[in-house]
Amino acid sequence: SWEACGKCHNEQFDSFMKEAYHRPARDEKSQLTGRAPNPFWDKLMMGHAFTREHSAPRSHKWMLSEIDRIVEAKKDKVLPEIIRQAQDQHLKAHILWEYWTAENSDGFHNPEMARESLGRSVDESQKGIELLKNAPADKPVVR
């Protein structure tokens, strides 16, 4: 958004908006949340060395894996309380990831804290995935 990036990165933001206006890749790759990683981000921020983590967003990959597991668990009728616990883990992971993307200018202002936040995000996502791996199903008893 203009508020987050455009004020300091005016020229890059203008070229980004021209190139990303329709965002076809985002539409094609939309995730469960309705949003996908922005394919133009690296091109926009490459000159500012902001792409290192974003090019290989391990934390984002783990969050998406966790979402996939939650969807599968719902289909497999996993106990609702276990699904809620996994969703809570996803929320923790997302908040830690969001800190990196929103509050910390993708690591520019405090790279050490950004790395720590992303690492903790991976840990929280993995905890949620582990919860679902061998979760019991809520199958009706056949009499």
pLDDT string in tens for the chain (143-residue length): 556 667 777 776 666 666 555 554 444 444 434 444 555 555 554 444 444 344 445 677 788 888 889 998 998 899 999 999 999 999 999 888 887 766 545 566 677 787 788 889 889 999 999 999 988 876 554 44
> What local confidence, expressed as pLDDT, does residue 81 receive?
93
- Is 143 a domain residue? no
Domain identity same for 120 and 84: yes
Domain span at 2: 1-48
- Count the Cβ atoms, other than its own, within 10 Å of residue 106: 21
User: Greatest CA span in the chain, whole angstroms?
Assistant: 69
Quote the pTM value: 0.56
Are residue 82 and residue 132 in the same domain, yes or no? yes
Spell 19-50 as b/e; 16+ CB within 10 A means b. ebeeeeebeeeeeeeeeeebebbeebbeeeeb
Same domain assignment for residues 44 and 64? no
Structural domain includes residue 102: yes
Residues 32 and 90 in one domain: no
